[in-house]
Amino acid sequence: MKDATLTRQARELQDALGEFIRVYQFRDRDRICCHDVSVTQCYALDVLLRRGLATLNELATELCLDKSTASRVVATLERKGYVARSTHPRDRRAVLLTATATGKRLVERILGGLVEEKKQILAEFPEDVRELAAELIQRLTTASRGRTMCATPVGKVASTN
């Protein structure tokens, strides 16, 4: 009986996550594009802010993009003044990418609205549920990342090797 309940709960979670991801992606596309960047460009800026510095290969890996696509994303962000390039200190062929102050302000503005939305939803739940909500999603992300083999953990500091 206990196994049947767990299976039902897991199925309900899978169904809810699938629907959530579909809706969330479209919602983000509409909201983020109003700020002069695409969803992918916003994700790239967010990665650079979390890492501080990243090579193009590191950024492409974390975004699960091929290098040429990541390069186009970065070129657009650089043209808009949201990303800066510098020479890698140990590999003159590589460049290091970083978000500019303007890029940081843009991401903070976008995320600020998203965080306020989450605060309103979380306020409806008890403290213990709120604490566990992020942990559950982080564990699901880790499990999914392990299956995709393309993204490094968010927040990992870029190497300078």
Crossing angle for the helix pair 39-51 and 2-32, to the nearest 10 degrees: 100
Q: Which domain holds residue 89?
A: 36-146
Looking at residues 18-37, what average pLDDT do you find? 70
Whether 117 is covered by a domain: the verdict is: yes
User: What are the pLDDT digits (tens) for 101-147?
Assistant: 999 999 999 888 889 989 999 999 999 999 999 999 989 888 887 77
Q: DSSP letter at 149?
A: -
pLDDT tens for residues 42-94? 899 999 999 999 999 999 999 989 999 999 999 999 999 999 999 888 888 88
Instruction: Give the CATH number, domain containing residue 65.
Output: 1.10.10.10
Indicate the pTM of the whole model.
0.73
The number of domains in the chain is: 1
Containing 55, the helix (H) or strand (E) segment is strand 54-55
Confirm whether 97 is domain-assigned.
yes
For tokens 């982080």, the residue is: 138
Please report whether residue 118 resides in a domain.
Answer: yes
Residue 126 lies in a domain: yes
